Amino acid sequence: MASRPTISKAVIPAAGLGTRFLPATKATPKEMLPVVDKPAIQYVVEEAVSAGLDDVLMITGRNKRPLEDHFDRNYELESALQKKGDASRLAKVQESSDLATMHYVRQGDPRGLGHAVLCAAPHVGHEPFAVLLGDDLIDPRDPLLQRMIEIQEQHGGSVIALMEVAPEQIHLYGCAAVEATAEGDVVRISGLVEKPDPADAPSNYAVIGRYVLAPQIFDVLRETEPGRGGEIQLTDALQQLATDEKLGGPVHGVVFRGRRYDTGDRGDYLRAIVRLACEREDLGPEFRTWLRGYVGQELSEG
C-alpha cells in the first residue's frame, strides 16, 4: 500500500477574470465551462483527490458562486431524479459534492496569481501544499502531481511543473533556467522569469499550472512587489526561493511530457473537448465516425 502523503492540502486559484474567453465569462467563471459534460474545474479537483489531496481550498472572487454550488448538494435536483428513478444521473449529480472536503476563500481584487496563493496562507498553515490552476487540465492517464509530491518528499523545498515548448511560444509562460539532475525527468531550478521575450528566455522550459510549495512561499509573497502586468506574480516569489535556498529550500522542476490542455485558451479548449469526447466510451464511437466524415469531406473542401 502507498504510504500516506505528507501533503494533504490542495489550493486551486480560480479568481482570475478569464478575459480570453469573453463574453462567455462575463457572468460565468471560465472554470465552469464544460469539457464534454463536466465543468473543467471538476477534472482538476478529481486530479487533486487522486493524488491523495482531499482537502481542497478554492480561491474565488466575484461571479464565482457557481463554483461553490457545483461542489455542494443540490437537494431539489437530487429528489427530482430520485422520484424518476434515474439512478445514473443522480450519481453524476452527487459525484462532485462527495469528492473532497471543499473550502473557499475570496480574493477580493484579482491582484495576480501570487496574491491568490497568499490568500491560502491561513488555511494552509506551516505545511507544504499543492497548487493546481483551475484552467489547466492534465490528462488523468499521465499523472504529474503524484511525481511532484514524491520529489518534494525527497528533496524538501518546492517543486514546479515544466513543459518543453517551441521557442516562439515561451513568451506566453513563466520560463525556468535549469540544471540537470541524476533523474531524467527532474531538474534543479536556478532562476525563473515571467513571460520573457524569446531572445531573453533562459530555456524552452515553460512553467505549467501545478506546484508543490514550501510554506515559506507565503513570507516571500508578502514582500513581493507587483511585477509583470502590475500583478503579484507567483513566478517572482519562486525566483526568490530558487536563488536563495536559505529562504525555503531548493526549487526542483518535474518535466511533464504527457497530455495537457489550457482550457483558458479557446483553441486548446476546443482541442480538449474533441480529444476527450473521442476517447469516451459512451460518446466516442459515434463522435469519431462523425468527425472522420467531417474532416474527410468538409475540411478538405474548405
Q: Which residues bind ligand UTP (CB under 6 A)?
A: 13-21, 59, 107, 110-113, 115-116, 133-135, 264
Return the number of the residue (66 or 110) whose C-beta is nearest ligand UTP.
110
Supply the Cα-derived Rg of the chain in whole angstroms. Answer: 20
Q: How far is the CB of 22 from ligand UTP (least distance, A)?
A: 8
> With respect to ligand UTP, which residue has the nearer C-beta, 106 or 292?
106
Beta carbon nearer to ligand UTP, 116 or 276:
116
What are the angstrom distances between the C-alpha of 166 and each of 7, 51, 136, 171, 201?
33, 29, 19, 10, 12
Torsion angle in degrees (nearest 10) through CA of 199, 203, 204, 206: -110
Residue number with the shortest CB distance to ligand UTP? 16
Alpha-carbon gap, residue 44 to 140, rounded angstroms: 10
Helices 145-155 and 40-50 cross at an angle (nearest 10°) of 40
CB of 220 to ligand UTP, least distance (A): 17
Q: Whose CA is closest to 11, among 42, 40, 45, 38?
A: 45
Q: Least separation, in Å, of the C-beta of 37 and ligand UTP?
A: 21
- How far is 10 from 57, CA to CA, in rounded Å? 6
Of 115 and 260, the one with the shorter C-beta distance to ligand UTP is: 115
**Closest distance between ligand UTP and the C-beta of residue 101, in Å?**
20
Q: Least separation, in Å, of the C-beta of 137 and ligand UTP?
A: 12
Q: Give the residue with the Cβ less far from ligand UTP, 113 or 220.
A: 113
Report helix angle 284-294 to 266-279, nearest 10.
Answer: 120
Pick between residue 81 and residue 272 the one whose CB is nearest to ligand UTP. Answer: 272
Residues 241, 120: contact at Cβ < 8 Å? no
Cβ contact 67:41 at 8 Å: yes
Tell the smallest beta-carbon distance from residue 109 to ligand UTP (Å): 7
In whole angstroms, give the CA distance from residue 30 to residue 20: 9
